[in-house]
Structure 1
């Protein structure tokens, strides 16, 4: 019952908010008539009470002086009976209805003349006084009604930015309309502690379900997977987890399964190279990087075309590097036909001396050293994740990455690179060139997966294919460091909407302030002299003039409250919103937490079983070897004792002395 009442109250509040922000504020005549009616009612009620109070005191004084006075009206009656007063005044004005206390009505008329006359004089003076009206900047903070073409304030499909205060308290959602101008790429400025996950990412997971979209989302701490996985599955979503932290609690994905030709091999190779560091890189020579790139591309194409299907994985590729010699690799590629795609990149590697080739193998082995870990090899040996599926049916893919260690970041980068490639290829095969199911990529900790080849180009062409991208980063210096001094501004330019959850350093604050622009404010200058000369009313004057200033200066950006955020719209306008905690979303109560350790796929169970059997075998083998050594030691000791007993006395020192 309580939940029903709460829902009804929220629904009524939402309707009233929408009615006020929409129909009333957009229709000037409706707004004028409504405000005129409300103002008139308040005017009669309050000013009649004031008039009765004044007349009451006047007649009270007259009576005290012994002068004749009519009946004294009681102000409290006018205060507590507004409707009879309003009705009687209405009849007096339009029908000449006689009043019991006409002096109060007369006082009410004089008070209105005084108030509205003073207001009229003020506005007339203001209108005809000459002043500088130069427009030095037009930026301003928009109110919710002024951006109705962008935002709606009820729960509906769209991107969730924040909240606005409702007329009856509480927060109402501020959601981007599906038909709003611009693309759906969002740049989210979110320094540590700015509530990125709880106010933006979680709310937009709810919104994706409301919109029927698929979602691809990195999950550095695993908290999104823990909170949303079971709920999403109950809602009919296919949920996959690519866990690079606790790999036994992960679905498998084989990067080499995405390599089908020379172009995809090149994409894979470039992604690995830009996200890894080689021991040879310390020498500062591009020569080694090119050599390792060609060797990697050759090995990738060899493995995916020549190896048995079950061996086409990075574990096999690393084994070729780690266990085979330079001569073996030369012989391996020597038997390939001239038309083989792996042969051309291998020739660039082969034409060097054995010493250089050995150095290239060592360097590439250093880049891929994570595959020394058997768990990593198992994780990337099979394929449980279909990268095209999110574009065909409703899916949510969580990619859990470490926010403390970057060793596996290159695997995540390869994952997201091919994710975008596969989805864009799928869209291009559709009759309308758009994915059957729209996809939102909410890239939390974007800088951890930022080394995606040609990402700015992909970002600028995603919308037409039905893919929206939220780029979430801490600040501009971090973004520059991750993508370079040229690409960072291209990426921001491809995002039509910016959500500023906060800024704690000058670079970001200054950039945001400059992008928002200038506004015009009125400054006052007092040229009147000080001291006794200032008593002369004709000496000096107070002048007013327009002045340019930033709509929001860098210091104001850094002083944003923890529960406030700024939204820059597609047309450059700015508005301030309240952050909307996801626990206030109506569907929050449906969430059911499930720890990621409870998710154990079939492959992991089989791997653990094999590992357990192997350990039992090793332990048994170790035990048998140890037993044999002990038996031999006991035999040697017994033999020594027997020899000692047989030896004649004085023959020499004992073996045990």
Structure 2
């Protein structure tokens, strides 16, 4: 425990000040009775010598103050008091805690974090609970609810933490479900209590709700977020030498994703989806050097309809900086990255949207995201989903609900 600043006692300083005050008064009086030397007006050395030789001739008790002795004594007392108020140790100390002060909280201390209604608590242990809603707690118990649960496989992270908190049924939930068991074990219970169940299954792609990232893109800044999430989610190494190619590919991705966003969503011609990027990549090369490719013509049409749009600026920047073999290499990298959308199941999974993220905070919803534990081929889709989720949910909470967020319980984050 941090102690208050140690207060110094005033009485010893007062006693020293009074003693010094009297001593100066007595010396001034002794100086006054010493024989003066003619012609000396300030400090008379002869007087000082006389004081040294005859100091015992004067009584030590003398309370008859002169103006000079009163000023001298008062100055001495003032100096001591200034020393008390201005000089000294200003530190705070933790006495008896030199080797640390960590300890387990008592049950009484833990209980002070609980909500008055147990169903509004987050459960950590038999006695350890914390109210989920800060507005229902005392001010000094209003903490953020971010929780890190660490344990080896089989230690019971899911059984002892995730399941009990799902059974509280006190908010909407987003749960990663690497084994795909949680939805089977808790889904019926949640559904019986009025929850909508959403399953995003990257293990069995055909047994899943659909997720279309374009449904949650609201401005051109989201183009960069989606491109970054896809490239980060499919990156195979952290080799610094690959940064050049990543940046080159990022330009291309922003252009193609941006084209679909502006042409499909802004102009409202069709519902775009991320698999269409793979279709654009297939039609980007010219079959004849003198004839613009299909994609080039598409960008020309978009520029006519939306002059100076972000997608066209990225497209022009890409073409002006890369050509020949370099451009071919960038196109090859991007095509390889999006080859996964050649699977019909993946195209179907991302063609439309039935996740309805915008309703997760206004309707009781439990979302289960099943991610393969050993196969990371499709994890970039989950990465993209989490990117848009952590943009959409705070946006809804801040702009519409004024602060209410669903509870996210991601498990085995390294797989995402």
Residue of structure 1 equivalent to 2:276:
316
After TM superposition, list the pairs within 5 Å mapping 1:130-149 onto structure 2: 134-136=96-98, 137-149=100-112
User: 1:324 Cα shift?
Assistant: 4.3
Q: Is the 8 A contact 1:291 1:348 kept in 2?
A: no
User: 1:320 Cα shift?
Assistant: 1.5
TM-score w.r.t. the length of structure 2 is 0.67
After TM superposition, list the pairs within 5 Å mapping 1:610-629 onto structure 2: none
Residue of structure 2 equivalent to 1:190:
151
Residue 336, structure 1, aligned to residue 294, structure 2: no
TM-score w.r.t. the length of structure 1 is 0.43
Runs of at least 5 residues in structure 1 that lack an aligned partner in the other structure: 1-132, 165-173, 450-657
Separation in 2 of the partners of 1:422 and 1:378? Answer: 23
Separation in 1 of the partners of 2:249 and 2:394? Answer: 29
- Alpha-carbon displacement from aligned partner over 1:83-109 (angstroms, at most 9, x marks no partner): xxxxxxxxxxxxxxxxxxxxxxxxxxx
User: 1:190 Cα shift?
Assistant: 2.0
Determine which of 182, 203, 216 is the counterpart of 2:164. 203
User: 1:282 Cα shift?
Assistant: 7.0
Separation in 1 of the partners of 2:248 and 2:334? Answer: 9
- Alpha-carbon displacement from aligned partner over 1:160-204 (angstroms, at most 9, x marks no partner): 10115xxxxxxxxx3213423311111111221211111100111
**Per the alignment, in what secondary structure is the counterpart of residue 402 of structure 2?**
coil
Q: CA 1:149–1:375 in structure 2 vs 1: closer, same or farther (change >3 Å)?
A: same
After TM superposition, list the pairs within 5 Å mapping 1:577-588 onto structure 2: none
Residue of structure 2 equivalent to 1:275:
233
Q: Is the 8 A contact 1:256 1:300 kept in 2?
A: no
User: 1:366 Cα shift?
Assistant: 1.8
Q: Is the 8 A contact 1:252 1:384 kept in 2?
A: yes
Residue of structure 1 equivalent to 2:131:
177
Residue of structure 2 equivalent to 1:162:
125
Determine which of 199, 203, 208 is the counterpart of 1:241. 199
- Alpha-carbon displacement from aligned partner over 1:108-133 (angstroms, at most 9, x marks no partner): xxxxxxxxxxxxxxxxxxxxxxxxx9
Q: Is the 8 A contact 1:241 1:399 kept in 2?
A: yes
Q: Is the 8 A contact 1:387 1:418 kept in 2?
A: no
User: 1:309 Cα shift?
Assistant: 5.2
Q: Which structure has greater strand proportion?
A: 1
Residue of structure 1 equivalent to 2:244:
287
Q: CA 1:366–1:142 in structure 2 vs 1: closer, same or farther (change >3 Å)?
A: same
Q: CA 1:183–1:277 in structure 2 vs 1: closer, same or farther (change >3 Å)?
A: closer
**Per the alignment, in what secondary structure is the counterpart of residue 398 of structure 1?**
strand
**Per the alignment, in what secondary structure is the counterpart of residue 163 of structure 1?**
coil
Residue 356, structure 1, aligned to residue 308, structure 2: no
**Per the alignment, in what secondary structure is the counterpart of residue 226 of structure 2?**
helix
Structure 1 runs, 4 residues or longer, greater than 6 Å off: none
Q: CA 1:198–1:291 in structure 2 vs 1: closer, same or farther (change >3 Å)?
A: same
Determine which of 371, 380, 383 is the counterpart of 1:413. 383
Residue of structure 1 equivalent to 2:71:
none
Q: CA 1:289–1:175 in structure 2 vs 1: closer, same or farther (change >3 Å)?
A: same
CA-based RMSD: 2.4
**Per the alignment, in what secondary structure is the counterpart of residue 145 of structure 1?**
helix
User: 1:150 Cα shift?
Assistant: 2.1
User: 1:306 Cα shift?
Assistant: 2.1
Residue of structure 2 equivalent to 1:265:
223
Q: Is the 8 A contact 2:110 2:129 kept in 1?
A: no
Runs of at least 5 residues in structure 2 that lack an aligned partner in the other structure: 1-94, 287-291
Residue of structure 2 equivalent to 1:615:
none
Residue of structure 1 equivalent to 2:254:
297
Q: Is the 8 A contact 1:278 1:367 kept in 2?
A: no
- Alpha-carbon displacement from aligned partner over 1:1-51 (angstroms, at most 9, x marks no partner): xxxxxxxxxxxxxxxxxxxxxxxxxxxxxxxxxxxxxxxxxxxxxxxxxxx
Determine which of 184, 204, 226 is the counterpart of 1:226. 184
**Per the alignment, in what secondary structure is the counterpart of residue 342 of structure 1?**
helix
Q: Is the 8 A contact 2:223 2:254 kept in 1?
A: yes
Separation in 2 of the partners of 1:442 and 1:153? Answer: 24
Q: CA 1:260–1:151 in structure 2 vs 1: closer, same or farther (change >3 Å)?
A: closer
Q: CA 1:156–1:259 in structure 2 vs 1: closer, same or farther (change >3 Å)?
A: closer
After TM superposition, list the pairs within 5 Å mapping 1:441-590 onto structure 2: 441-449=408-416
Q: How many pairs are equivalent?
A: 301
User: 1:155 Cα shift?
Assistant: 4.2
Q: Is the 8 A contact 1:219 1:400 kept in 2?
A: yes
